[in-house]
Amino acid sequence: MKPLRVRLLWWSSVSGDPSRGNRIAFENIGVQTELLTQNIMPQVHLQYGADFIFTGMIYEMLNWAGMGFLKLPVVIQGGGYGPYFLPDGKIDRNFEKVTDIPQSIVTVLDPNYYLEMQKSGLEFDYEQFFLVPNGLTMTLTKFPMLPQKRSEDEFVILNPSGNFWIKNPQKFIEATKLVFKEEPKIKFQFPIKTRYSYNAPIKWLDCENVELMPIKSQPQLYMLYQKADVVGVYSEAEILPTHVFEALWFDKPLIHSHLGMLQSVPSECLGEMTKDFGMSIPKFHEKWKGEYLKGDHFKYVKSPKEFAESCIELYNNEEERKALAKRGSEWKSSWWMMEDKAQLLVDMLQERKFVGGG
């Protein structure tokens, strides 16, 4: 049987291939891939040469479908974590048309997005939005665990979220200043995309206990994870749960301010929960909403003050750091892989006879 071929349409990025995890996952289950970024005019690629399209470019799909360009089946991946992923914090009315695209499957990464859609007041056909979250990547499983040289009194907390205005990094800096007043030995590492915001220098980033770094390649970032004592993500918009998975993969205690609902459930629920991936988002949310934020594999904080207090607590308590990292490792072992996500998407397309001889 001829292997399926997927064409990934994705945004371009200065830090690398943002679709890498999905692309490698498709390849690992035997689906041939081709990546096109937004700066390539893709009209012909929307009609020929592939079995289906996988993309997060929702509004582009609406435009191309409206102009008659979109002929291939398409899996559209909706965003994940709350209003900061949406234009101006609102749902565009045109978004309700996305499920009307012929031969389309619309997926959502996390129940948070569904809740934000509900707040919009628009009448979406929520049963046509399916929960298909991201998973662990095999690139992590193949990364070598290397010993890191460091001074004995060094204590490092890594915030890998980056400086994007939607993440409100000012709150993170506010927390680091609170930490510095109480325990100046704690150092933070903060890889950022740019020292500028709205074309003006970000002067508030100048803090004695924060080491600012250029944006890192994936291997370089993994080295920072290994060296860190704690991973502390204070951010108001995390579209993907990548930081959660990476922190837990490297057995690091995790502090997080904006965790996806799926990443916050207890580890004992995950075996049963993953069986429901692919379910319509309303049904999934109704079944599992009682488990959100109940996991003990991370420290959940709701303010810069709480973040600072958690940093100092873990600094002073090595046993708690080890216990938190152990619980995170146990949680990680029950989560699914990106290959599971890719296979589920292919299965959904084949069940609808969009691909595979239908």
pLDDT-derived band of residue 121, with 50, 70 and 90 as boundaries? confident
Asked if residue 198 has pLDDT above 50, the reply is no
Which of 149-153, 207-211, 353-357 is predicted least confidently?
A: 149-153
> Of 41 and 233, which is predicted with more confidence?
233
Provide the pLDDT for residue 200: 44
* 180 found inside a domain: yes
One domain, residues 119 and 166: no
* 321 found inside a domain: yes
* 265 found inside a domain: no
Q: What is the number of other CB atoms lying within 10 angstroms of the CB of residue 166?
A: 16
One domain, residues 325 and 182: yes
One domain, residues 175 and 51: no
* 276 found inside a domain: no
Provide the pLDDT for residue 84: 43
> Of 270 and 1, which is predicted with more confidence?
270
One domain, residues 222 and 306: yes
- The CATH number for 113's domain is 3.40.50
pLDDT-derived band of residue 253, with 50, 70 and 90 as boundaries? very high
- Region 163-191: mean pLDDT is 84
One domain, residues 162 and 112: no
One domain, residues 151 and 18: no
* Pairing of β 196-197 and β 200-201: antiparallel
Asked if residue 194 has pLDDT above 70, the reply is no
- Region 1-5: mean pLDDT is 86
Q: How many separate domains does the chain show?
A: 2
**What's the pTM?**
0.86
One domain, residues 342 and 328: no
Asked if residue 297 has pLDDT above 90, the reply is yes
One domain, residues 17 and 147: no
One domain, residues 319 and 345: no
Provide the pLDDT for residue 87: 47
**248 lies in which domain range?**
140-259+298-332
Separation CA 184–CA 209 (nearest Å) = 7
Provide the pLDDT for residue 339: 95
* 39 found inside a domain: yes
Provide the pLDDT for residue 90: 57
pLDDT-derived band of residue 130, with 50, 70 and 90 as boundaries? very high
Provide the pLDDT for residue 197: 45
pLDDT per position as a tens digit, 309-318: 999 999 999 9
Provide the pLDDT for residue 119: 76
> Of 280 and 192, which is predicted with more confidence?
280
- The CATH number for 172's domain is 3.40.50.2000
* 102 found inside a domain: yes
SS3 sequence of the chain? CCCCEEEEEECCCCCCCCCHHHHHHHHHCCCEEEEEECCCCCCHHHCCCCCEEEECCHHHHHHHHHCCCCCCCEEEEECCCCHHHCHHHCCCHHHHHHHHCCCEEEEECCHHHHHHHHHCCCCCCHHHEEECCCCECHHHHCCCCCCCCCCCCCEEEECCCCCCHHHCHHHHHHHHHHHHHHCCCEEEEEECCCCEECCEECHHHCCCCEEEECCCCHHHHHHHHHHCCEEEECCCCCCCCHHHHHHHHCCCCEEECCCCCHHHCCHHHHHHHHHHCCCEHHHHHHHHHHHCCCCCCCEECCCHHHHHHHHHHHHHCHHHHHHHHHHHHHHHCCCCEHHHHHHHHHHHHHHCCCCCCC
> Of 58 and 87, which is predicted with more confidence?
58
One domain, residues 57 and 90: yes
* 109 found inside a domain: yes
* 291 found inside a domain: no
One domain, residues 106 and 146: no
Q: For residues 24 and 8, is the Cβ–Cβ distance under 8 A?
A: no
> Of 272 and 145, which is predicted with more confidence?
272
One domain, residues 146 and 230: yes
